Amino acid sequence: MASYANQECFQSNDDLPIVLLHRLPSFNSPLKDILQPHFHLLDPADSPEPASSFLSCHAKSVRALICIYNTPLSAETLNLLPSLELIVAASAGVDHIDLEECRCRGIIMTNASTAFAEDAADHAVALLIDVCRRISTADRFVRAGLWPVKRDCSLGFKMGRKRVGIVGLGRIGFEVGKRLEAFGCSIAYNSRKKKPSVPFSYHANVLDLAEDSDALILCCSLTEQTHHIINKDVLEALGKEGVIINVGRGALIDEKVLVQFLLRGDIGGAGLDVFENEPDVPRELFELDNVVLSPHRAIFTSESLEALHELVFTNLKAFFSNKPLQSVFQIE
- For residue 108, the SS3 value is strand
Please state, in angstroms and rounded to a whole number, the distance separating the CA atoms of residues 203 and 193.
10
Please state, in angstroms and rounded to a whole number, the distance separating the CA atoms of residues 292 and 246.
11
Catalytic-role residue among 249, 255, 309, 310? 249
Please state, in angstroms and rounded to a whole number, the distance separating the CA atoms of residues 243 and 185.
14
Answer for the pair 2, 309: CB distance below 8 angstroms, yes or no. Answer: yes
- For residue 141, the SS3 value is helix
Active site residue 49: no
What are the respective helix, strand and coil percentages of the chain, to the nearest 5? 40, 15, 45
Catalytic-role residue among 49, 76, 100, 278? 278
Answer for the pair 65, 58: CB distance below 8 angstroms, yes or no. Answer: no
Active site residue 297: no
CA atoms within 13 A on the CB side of 137: 22
The dihedrals phi and psi of 261, each to the nearest 5 degrees, come to -60, -40
Is the backbone of residue 109 left (phi > 0), alpha (psi -120 to 50) or beta?
beta
Catalytic-role residue among 58, 96, 228, 296? 296
Please state, in angstroms and rounded to a whole number, the distance separating the CA atoms of residues 138 and 146.
10
* Helix-then-strand count for the chain, H and E: 12, 12
Q: At what angle do helices 113-133 and 135-143 cross, to 10 degrees?
A: 60
Active site residue 228: no
Q: How far is CA 2 from the centre of its chain?
A: 23
Q: What is the DSSP string of 282-307?
A: -GGGTT-TTEEE--S-TT--HHHHHH
> Which residues does the annotation mark as catalytic?
249, 278, 296
